[in-house]
């Protein structure tokens, strides 16, 4: 057992789940981008100043801020909306770093508030988790290099740079705790529900027109075995998810189960954005798996595998998975 001081030092020197949290940033950026893209044709009606919710009524019911509230001009609306789209694309591609992510959050919050009725749990999770991502080094992987970040980092005093890893690890921990809270709460409330206790909830949910996939859903809800298995399986998975991720050996399995669960929600219930947002947050538990997948991909893409520094950098480090998929620390930042 390490002394508490040594443990603290370890946590403040080794950045955990860098690849996973970078994946979270990419996927959240993509879902945000698709919020704009999938409603692009209807943007004037759904979000515009002369649309479903006229500008003056929007201002009256607004809580918090929204860039859309600043001016009733249609031109301003188009500008903010397209800027939001560009910011989401930049986050997906990994351009702009954390200031870009902060801007994306502000624009996304603004468009969410413009028509709150369109939102679901996925959007709720997205606007809560992005501030935590701002603490993390979520642009260390899957990002287009611009070189700007390195130049800025070089000018930051060492004492501030020393905060990088502690903040990163706290941010990752917050994302992980938040997604556990989501699953456990939704699981425990299901335990209280009569239909979930009876094992018939899936039967009821999947017949509702809004959440039914014609031609497919009936294959599940007309099968008694699948209904009961799916209902109890859902509750068991949600309630026990935190235990699954607490045990390192079970962690990838819990995350994989969650991804499978949410992909089927996306397919059967048409909640694509919701499902991908949940999966994005699950990625913090899959950092090691992502790392080894990346390494395999790199060796396959190159005919003669060369040992480059980059490769070593992303190789799954010592099996320090017990700390949450620990990464080798990056000397230049500590």
Partner 1 sequence: MAKTYRTTRRAALLVGGALLGAHMTMAALSQAPLSPAKLVYGNRVAHYLDPYFSQNWQLFAPTPVSDNRGILARATCADGSVSEYYDVSARGLEKVRSSRFFPSREVRVVSAQIQEITNSEEVLRRLRIRQANDKKTVLPPLPHEKATEAEAVKSLSRYAYDQMPTVCDGKVTKVQVRMYVETLPPWSERNSPSAEGKVMVKDFAWADTRDLR
Nearer to partner 1, 230 or 321 (CB): 230
136-195 positions binding partner 1, by CB under 8 A: 158-159, 162-163, 165-167, 169-170, 173-174, 177-178, 181-182, 185-186, 189-190, 192-195
Which of residues 59 and 178 has its CB atom nearest to partner 1 in the complex?
178
- Give, for 291, the enclosing helix (H) or strand (E): helix 287-301
From the list 94-102, 111-119, 288-296, 304-312, the region that binds partner 1 by CB under 8 A is 111-119
CA pair distance 79, 98, nearest whole angstrom: 22
208 contributes a contact to partner 1 by CB under 8 A? yes
Q: Is the dihedral of CA 33, 55, 124, 272 positive or negative?
A: negative
Shortest spacing between CB 232 and partner 1, in angstroms: 14
Stretch that binds partner 1, among 38-46, 81-89, 90-98, 147-155 (CB under 8 A): 38-46
Query: CB of 134 within 8 A of CB of 83?
Result: no
Is 281 an interacting residue with respect to partner 1 (CB under 8 A)?
no
Q: Which is nearer to partner 1, 128 or 229 (CB)?
A: 128
Burial class (CB in 10 A: 0-12, 13-18, 19+), 242: middle
201 binds partner 1 (CB under 8 A): yes
Residues from 291 through 330 that contact partner 1 (CB under 8 A): none
* CB closer to partner 1 out of 113 and 287: 113
Q: What is the chain's length?
A: 334
Among 71, 272, 323, 330, binds partner 1 (CB under 8 A): 272
Maximal C-alpha separation, the chain: 64
DSSP state of 284: G
The residue among 52 and 250 lying less far from partner 1, judged by its C-beta, is 52
214 binds partner 1 (CB under 8 A): yes
Pick between residue 217 and residue 287 the one whose CB is nearest to partner 1: 217
Which residues touch 48 (CB under 8 Å, ≥6 apart)? 74, 77
Give the closest residue to 48 by CA, choosing from 9, 321, 57: 57
Taking the chain, what is the end-to-end CA distance rounded to the nearest angstrom?
24
β partners of residue 326: 16
Pick the closer one to partner 1 by CB: 132 or 142: 132
Site size for partner 1 (CB under 8 A): 77
User: In whole angstroms, how close is the CB of 219 to partner 1 at the nearest point?
Assistant: 14
| DSSP SS3 for 326 | strand
């Amino acid at each position: 057992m390490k002394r508490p001081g040594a443990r603290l030092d370890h946590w403040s020197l080794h950045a955990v789940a860098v690849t996973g949290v970078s994946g979270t940033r990419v996927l959240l950026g993509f879902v945000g981008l698709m919020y704009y893209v999938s409603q692009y044709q209807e943007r004037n009606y759904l979000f515009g100043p002369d649309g479903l919710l006229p500008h003056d009524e929007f201002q009256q019911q607004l809580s918090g801020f929204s860039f859309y509230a600043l001016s009733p001009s249609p031109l301003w609306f188009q500008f903010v909306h397209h800027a939001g789209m560009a910011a989401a694309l930049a986050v997906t591609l990994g351009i702009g770093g954390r200031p870009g992510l902060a801007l994306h959050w502000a624009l996304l919050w603004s468009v969410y508030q413009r028509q709150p009725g369109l939102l679901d749990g996925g959007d709720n999770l997205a606007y809560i988790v992005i501030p935590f991502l701002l603490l993390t080094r979520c642009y260390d992987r899957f990002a287009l290099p611009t070189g700007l970040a390195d130049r800025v980092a070089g000018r930051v005093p060492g004492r501030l740079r020393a905060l990088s890893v502690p903040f990163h690890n706290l941010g990752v921990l917050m994302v992980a705790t938040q997604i556990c809270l989501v699953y456990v709460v939704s699981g425990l409330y299901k335990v209280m529900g009569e239909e979930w206790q009876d094992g018939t909830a899936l039967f009821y949910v999947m017949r509702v027109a809004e959440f039914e996939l014609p031609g497919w859903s009936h294959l599940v809800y007309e099968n008694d075995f699948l209904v009961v298995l799916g209902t109890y399986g859902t509750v068991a998975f949600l309630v026990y998810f935190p235990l699954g991720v607490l045990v390192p050996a079970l962690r990838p399995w819990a995350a994989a189960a969650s991804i499978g669960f949410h992909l089927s929600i996306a397919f059967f219930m048409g909640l694509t954005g919701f499902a991908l947002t949940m999966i994005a947050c699950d990625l913090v538990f899959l950092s090691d798996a992502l790392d080894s997948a990346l390494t395999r991909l790199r060796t396959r893409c190159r005919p003669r595998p060369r040992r480059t520094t980059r490769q070593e950098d992303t190789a799954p480090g010592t099996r320090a998975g017990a700390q949450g998929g620990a990464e080798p620390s990056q000397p230049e930042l500590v």
